[in-house]
Amino acid sequence: MYSREHFLIGAVVSTAGVAALRDAFSLPVLAGLFAGGVLLSVFIDLDHFLVARRHAGDWSHLRACVRDPVFAFTEQDEVFEGIPEQQIQLERLLTHAVVGGALTAALALVSVPVAVFAAVVVYAHVVADLLRDAGIA
């Protein structure tokens, strides 16, 4: 999925999560959770650069996006050019699961509700990716 789609999904899921937690946290904390959820939904995709590095043998894909951030968001179909899409698809889902699991475990040490919130955001992101990969969405 594209970043703009993950942004919208993250906003919807974060809104629902904040609504569910409205009695547990103050308004500033809820606002932070909302913003963090949206950012997590978009920026968990940075792990794709690790997968690209593994296949390309260098950081050229990341360097291209750092040099031209507009390219990174407007030409997302070309960001990982030269790497077979099928190779990236499975491995990016694997890295999402690893990152999401580690983040959830770390957050659980601080706050179980926040950990569950983050886990739900990552879950929604992965399901959205799977729906796109399956040609459903």
Q: Could you tell me which residues come within 8 angstroms of residue 1 by beta carbon, excluding any fewer than 6 positions away?
A: 9, 128, 129, 132, 137
pTM of the shown model: 0.90
**Contact criterion met (CB below 8 Å) for 124 and 5:** no
Report the pLDDT value the prediction gives residue 17, as an integer from 0 to 100.
Answer: 97
Mention every residue, 6+ apart, whose C-beta is less than 8 A from residue 134: none
Measured CA to CA, the distance from residue 26 to residue 32 in angstroms comes to: 10
pLDDT tens, N- to C-terminus, the chain (137 residues):
788 999 999 999 999 999 999 999 999 999 999 999 999 999 999 999 999 999 889 999 999 999 998 888 888 888 898 888 887 888 989 999 999 999 999 999 999 999 999 999 999 999 999 999 888 97
Of residues 90, 115, 110, the one with CA closest to residue 40: 115
